[in-house]
């Protein structure tokens, strides 16, 4: 089955810096790659997603890149703010309607 590896597990940055979280996946049939943000004590929420026919997608301060050949995708957050502090999960959409998540990255933005 699909296996998603996510790095780093924790990331601490200064406000205004950029943050990058990387994920790799194993199933070459995966073609949907969403990112979810989970603030402390809250439910995960989709922040951005990308499909395999696109190499990059941007939404204001966040962007996701995808390299299908290498089977990895990354989340980039620019000009980080304290409210960006949360756990971020990457995921890969494989066969049989199953979405496999990475183990998460705890991002801390220090004011």
Enumerate binding residues for another protein (CB under 8 A).
1, 6, 29-32, 34, 36, 42-46, 49, 51, 89, 91, 93-104
19 φ, ψ (degrees, to nearest 5):
-130, 140
What is the smallest separation between the CB atom of 46 and another protein, expressed in angstroms? 5
What is the smallest separation between the CB atom of 66 and another protein, expressed in angstroms? 14
Nearer to another protein, 32 or 55 (CB): 32
- E-assigned strands of the chain? 4-7, 10-14, 19-25, 32-38, 45-51, 56-59, 62-67, 72-77, 86-93, 99-101, 105-110
Nearer to another protein, 85 or 93 (CB): 93
Nearer to another protein, 32 or 79 (CB): 32
Give the tokens for residue 24. Answer: 């790799």
């Amino acid at each position: 089955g699909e296996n998603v590896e996510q790095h780093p597990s924790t990331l601490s940055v200064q406000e205004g810096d950029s943050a990058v979280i990387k994920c790799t996946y194993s199933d070459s049939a995966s073609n949907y790659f969403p990112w979810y943000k989970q603030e402390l004590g809250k439910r995960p929420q989709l922040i951005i997603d990308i499909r395999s026919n696109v190499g990059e997608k941007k939404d204001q301060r966040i962007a996701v890149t995808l390299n299908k050949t290498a089977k990895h995708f990354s989340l980039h957050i620019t000009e980080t703010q304290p409210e960006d502090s949360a756990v971020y999960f990457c995921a890969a959409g494989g066969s049989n309607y199953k979405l496999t998540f990475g183990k998460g990255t705890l991002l801390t933005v220090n004011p």
